[in-house]
Structure 1
């Protein structure tokens, strides 16, 4: 029997109202009733529509039924934080700024908070601190996920001698330049093809419908800030069963970027809704949540997951372009993401785990924890440590704010640092200089109980947002004229 396929048009034809209920019904039925005859499924959906109250206790159909029930108005009073917050573990506390600690203490006092942890790369953010992990009960916090929804690392490992990065530097440099676009508003003139753009949520949710065109033009782009695409040297000391790569040195292609304007618009739109529904004290305002059994919460959940799929698609477009130019497939691809919320089990309870600038580190889950544009990063395997809510850091973490970095780091210092490590930088600015980041090795020492290192990645040709000709290079050229 073929798998069940239902369209939004068919649901509207039997009386389903416009809104997230259509997408929710499609997703649930196509997953839970995929081998049931379509006629039976449509009759069942008609029954839920006619009497939603009768299905509120149904394990599968309750989510659809709740969307069809009359709305209940929320209380307009301000919500109070718990006097004593939940206990949470801090890794590398001596290297974490007090403002980030304060943000985590505030998040721990939320009425919906269940468990938490703070990673060693933590620093101040909006809502949850960057590096913050928070498990909640039946609630999702848009700013607990963050603006760049589903931001991720993606590593392709190629059976190519790393010496080629030097011998054919111009080739690899050109491929980075042609594979993607950098800049906050960057868009391609011609859109790439990818199935994520056919997701029906783009046509069912009004917000996403308006974002579809721009998202398509940004598919495969990389954004600005600390996002990058780079070639480097992957080194595996000994074969790990989970990674599955033999000991040796290889060429690696590593990318870091997220969901672009799509994720930012989703985050800001639903944060405003959450703040309007959950009036919290001023210092906790950006921790406002949406319940997953209310319309806006389910709508955000679907949109967040789509943004995550979109972010992954952006990486795959980039990696596929370069693989085609290299004329070979990668031996292994490792991908892990942060700025997301997952449905997980915690001490036997169903919870929502927010990892803002933190990545999953469940038992044997692979990930990449990068350093900086000159510092070696690490391929890791999670240990499944409950003390960190099965999480680890997402990078080295910022040591300086962008403004402080711009004020205190010179172009000559950056030039000397790149030369010292033999790194060719395309784009990039002083705000992303290695000095602006924590020492990745100190961060890794602080989370030895959370992950095992199974390989390393050392950057060699780095592409970021910003001018490809640096001020010191420009000066040298002028002097030579």
Structure 2
């Protein structure tokens, strides 16, 4: 018999008040009533709710009773009346709803500074392309569902002409050495140090996620996640790798921490909402105090998920490079769904970048376009008004639903053909026309980054059309 798992929604349905008692009750049932049926568990919880005084000395249920006896309706944490000033880059092509979302975030009592990148569009909690610095608090939805979603570019010693002369081999590598989709797993698990991390044993929510993490290691998600071959053009002669300016074959990937990261995000978002009750318009911005056990737990789990995402990319690249018999010349990579401890305004802050690229002075990163538009290798300028950040891509100008309704398969096929791009998988929701013009986006952030090189996609592998994980 599988272990019983209660949800906050079930407890609210029984009449439990929103607050810490929800988490306490779920944990008590999971630990002490694992073999109970849902009906039996609900009967126990209803009895405690009806008369908590009768259970106050019960060695198991007393913890629930104690919370019920002292808890009243949780106080809603008020937002500031006016937002902290923040910079918007490319404001002329950012929708009003996106700006409104960041306005809500910047009114949080823990908010210190923020910025909005030129690829910004609406999301949950922080907008995609939103940057928020907080004082000693972390916002799970400020990081996002796909913790550690990142870019990784490998520059290889293969001749540019081989993309045409050996096209079938490149395509074969994409088809056979990658896996995509929400439940994608490899039949044979690869070993990696990230799977040996102590967090899998020490943090309760991670204990049951190790098998999932092992199976999905080296796979990619759905939505806008991809692995693609293309042409890297090095433009800066003074680049960090001492590569001669010119063209090289490149391998670029985009994905995150897979199912493990999604479950970590979901668990701590629910917990944050129980502990930090905000007005309805800001409820997805619920935060965890870094001085609490919950805040420290999330921070450790988030960093593990980020390292796991990095390991996924490295394994994908290792397989693909070996398949083509290539040698790695240089690599650039960065997270763009994460939180960092950084010094701004003279103090340590928690900087959330949800769909934003770190762009500290001299820091390298990748900003992709679309499946037909170029991506950019960039070097950060350390602009303080952007909190050392830049865009994470071109940014959507159409929702997935609108793209599917507005763009035909023939239009997409022609656009791919006109740009000399071969697509494996993908859907109309990811059609190039669904995205903003990457060149316009780059022009709007010329104060934030300088261009070191470009990447032009030539063969793109994605999951079939479906929901995003970014």
4+ aligned runs moved over 3 Å, structure 1? none
| Contact kept in structure 2, 1:236 and 1:247, CA below 8 Å | yes
In the other structure, the counterpart of 2:132 is 134
In the other structure, the counterpart of 1:96 is 94
State yes or no: 1:285 paired with 2:293.
no
| Contact kept in structure 1, 2:333 and 2:366, CA below 8 Å | yes
Superposition deviation, residue 206 in structure 1: 1.8
Superposition deviation, residue 329 in structure 1: 2.5
Structure 2 residue matching 1:245: 3-state secondary structure: coil
| Contact kept in structure 2, 1:243 and 1:366, CA below 8 Å | no
Q: Distance in 2 between matches of 1:238 and 1:124?
A: 34
In the other structure, the counterpart of 2:176 is 178
In structure 1, which of residues 390, 393, 399 is the aligned counterpart of residue 391 of structure 2? 393
Structure 2 residue matching 1:230: 3-state secondary structure: strand
In the other structure, the counterpart of 2:199 is 201
In the other structure, the counterpart of 1:349 is 347
Superposition deviation, residue 243 in structure 1: 4.8
User: How do residues 266-345 of structure 1 correspond to structure 2 at under 5 angstroms?
Assistant: 266-345=264-343
State yes or no: 1:443 paired with 2:441.
yes
In the other structure, the counterpart of 2:46 is none
| Contact kept in structure 2, 1:88 and 1:117, CA below 8 Å | yes
Superposition deviation, residue 127 in structure 1: 0.2
Q: How many residues align?
A: 396
Any stretches of 5+ residues in structure 1 without a counterpart? 1-70, 468-481
| Contact kept in structure 1, 2:170 and 2:324, CA below 8 Å | no
Superposition deviation, residue 241 in structure 1: 3.5
Q: Distance in 2 between matches of 1:430 and 1:137?
A: 41
Q: Distance in 1 between matches of 2:194 and 2:319?
A: 17
The two structures have a TM-score, normalised by structure 2, of: 0.83
Structure 1 residue matching 2:464: 3-state secondary structure: coil
The two structures have a TM-score, normalised by structure 1, of: 0.81
State yes or no: 1:405 paired with 2:403.
yes
In the other structure, the counterpart of 1:466 is 464
| Contact kept in structure 2, 1:107 and 1:113, CA below 8 Å | yes
In the other structure, the counterpart of 2:121 is 123
Structure 2 residue matching 1:427: 3-state secondary structure: strand
Q: Distance in 2 between matches of 1:92 and 1:242?
A: 29
CA pair 168-74 structure 1, distance change in 2 beyond 3 A: farther
Any stretches of 5+ residues in structure 2 without a counterpart? 1-66, 466-470
Q: Deviation per CA, 1:389-443, whole angstroms, max 9, x where unpaired?
A: 0000000000100000000100100010011000000001100000000000000
| Contact kept in structure 1, 2:157 and 2:327, CA below 8 Å | no
Q: Distance in 2 between matches of 1:358 and 1:210?
A: 30
Structure 1 residue matching 2:208: 3-state secondary structure: helix
Q: Distance in 2 between matches of 1:173 and 1:355?
A: 34
